[in-house]
Structure 1
Amino acid sequence: MSLPVGTRTQLADLLHGARVLLLDFDGPVAHLFARHPAPEVAAAVRQFATVHSIGLDDVRTEDPLVLLRAAYRHSPRFGRDVEAHVIEHETRAAAVAEPTPGAHELIRVASTIGRRVVVVSNNSERAIRTYLARHDLTEHVEHIIGRPFGHPEQMKPHPHLLNAALDITRAAPADAVFVGDSITDALAGTGAGVPCIGYAKRPERAEGLADADALVVVEDMHTLAAALRP
């Protein structure tokens, strides 16, 4: 997607005006379930739940995190059991996940020019650390704010994770910019008062991100890396 001149200027202003770069993980950084597909993980979670007499059969989804929320609604104890199982699968997926083109370049450019890079994700911290270590990105990412174990209610679209990122970096919302690929990301950004850049990994997602108040929507992470270069 070629951005209009005015949009390119807005994007550059957003990136250069922020001292903290907040990145969602699955989408903007990596395709987490590219080689360990989410539907297979969801099926494994259902099987685990069935063996442990946790009723998830009525939850129609192939999203493991939707199943995770449902397990916690069943009971906190079952939720924790399911979450531990989900973390195992997320970590396996992270070990073979495919990079989002342009994402590693963005992280390295941001780190090199002194931006504080923080990954803010509904995925587990363990999985994210596995991925970053595998790709020699650990030193370029200052903090990881992953899903708080046992507290699915704090996942995005709730602004808790973004607020935690602001707290740990001692940054005001206006000092940060958040790159996310989903409507829940954009809503979390709005809730925390952080400007949001939408990454539409498929063109049809662009309109939804814009409607959810993403200030700029891009279809290529290379666009962000190029805009951030001095």
Structure 2
Amino acid sequence: MTPLAETGAQLADLLRGARVVLLDFDGPVAHLFAGHPAPDVAAAVRQFATVRGGDFSEIRTDDPLVLLRAAYRRTPEFGRDVEAHVIEHETRAAAVAAPTPGAHELIRTAAATGRAVLIVSNNSARAIRTYLARHHLTDDVAQIIGRPFGHPEQMKPDPHLLHAALDIARAAPTGAVFIGDSITDAIAGNAAAVPCIGYAKDPERAEGLADADAIAVIDDMHALAEALRR
């Protein structure tokens, strides 16, 4: 863990000036593919692509979004067909996704303390809306900035989604904080000049986030809710 995450007081200092809380979805909010596993989704995407004349056999991944990017490299039309299929699976996954411990508390605490909460994710907005509605969090989230349909190049690590979130919230980067769980999140946060707090489920992930210049790294989302209340 980085030094800034060592105590609740230090984390509270980091969050004190943030009037806008930007949250990645898969990881910091929920384990999206906990009930509908990503390898199964990737297999379904491969089969869908094969039926339509696409071949992903040389792409070794269980990440549906890697396959989505590959589909758009083939042709925009093929990419849109594959993306529509991915959205169906993301939405199905969201209906049974497991909450990240402490995430709902963080969202509700941020909203209750007058902060705007925006979800900024490479996943589809439809899937995120499904999850938030299921857990009665819709009113606590000001906006969802999901993957722009037909534009995979705008997904993180590109800062486009974060810039869009700041524009919607009418916030300067210094008035926001971004919580993500991947190196691509940290890269996007740095590119948008938004302080990024990394959420790490294991030491290897923590090391990667620290190396990517996350300003702090935590392993418990409850710590953020507690820090906001200080």
- Following the alignment from structure 1 to structure 2, what is the Cα–Cα distance between the partners of residues 174 and 37? 37
Q: Which residue of 1 aligns with 2:226?
A: 226
**Shift of residue 169 of structure 1?**
0.7
Q: Which residue is equivalent to 1:118? A: 118
Shift of 1:10: 3.0
The residue type equivalent to 2:217 in the other structure is V
SS in 1 for 2:204: helix
Q: Which amino acid aligns with 1:75?
A: T
After superposition, the Cα gap between the structure-2 partners of 1:104 and 1:6, relative to the gap in structure 1 and judged at 3 Å, is closer
AA matched with 1:67: L
Aligned residue number for residue 204 of structure 2? 204
Mapped to 1, the partners of 2:141 and 2:165 lie a distance apart of 12
Gaps of 5+ in 1: none
Secondary structure of the structure 2 residue equivalent to 1:118: strand
Aligned-partner residue type, residue 179 of structure 1: I
Pair 1:135-2:135 in alignment: yes
Contact preservation (8 Å) 1:7, 1:216: no
Q: Structure 1 residues 202-211 or 172-181, which shifts more?
A: 202-211
Structure 2: gaps spanning 5 or more residues: none
Partner secondary structure for residue 22 of structure 2: strand
In the alignment, does 2:155 pair up with 1:167? Answer: no
Partner of 1:176: 176
Amino acid at match of 1:27: G
Work out whether residues 55 and 74 of structure 1, in 8 Å CA contact, stay in contact via their aligned partners in 2: no
- What is the Cα deviation at residue 9 of structure 1? 3.1
Letter in 1 for 2:197: I
**How far is 1:54 from its partner?**
1.2
Q: CA deviation at 1:203?
A: 2.4
* 2:73 alignment partner in structure 1: 73
1:62 maps to amino acid: D
TM-score, normalised via structure 2 length: 0.97
- 2 CA distance for matches of 1:51 and 1:127? 25
- Letter matched to residue 124 of structure 1: S
Aligned twin of 1:53: 53
Partner secondary structure for residue 118 of structure 2: strand
Root-mean-square deviation (Å): 1.5
Relative to 1, partners in 2 of residues 1:87 and 1:77: Cα closer, same or farther, differing over 3 Å? Answer: same
User: What SS does the aligned partner of 1:9 have?
Assistant: helix
Task: Report if the CA contact (8 A) 2:5-2:218 is conserved.
Answer: no
Name the CA distance, whole Å, in 1 between partners of 2:115 and 2:212: 26
The answer to whether the 8 A contact 2:45-2:64 is kept is yes
Give the Cα–Cα distance (whole angstroms) in 1 for the partners of residues 199 and 89 of structure 2: 25
Q: Hey, what does 1:156 align to over in structure 2?
A: 156
CA–CA separation in structure 1 for the residues paired with 2:67 and 2:198: 25
Q: How does 1:18-29 map to 2 (within 5 A)?
A: 18-29=18-29
Aligned-partner residue type, residue 213 of structure 2: D
5 Å matches for 1:28-43?
28-43=28-43
CA contact (8 A) 1:23 1:118 kept: yes
Give the residue type in structure 1 aligned to 2:99.
P
In structure 2, the CA distance between the partners of 1:6 and 1:68, relative to structure 1 (3 Å rule), is closer
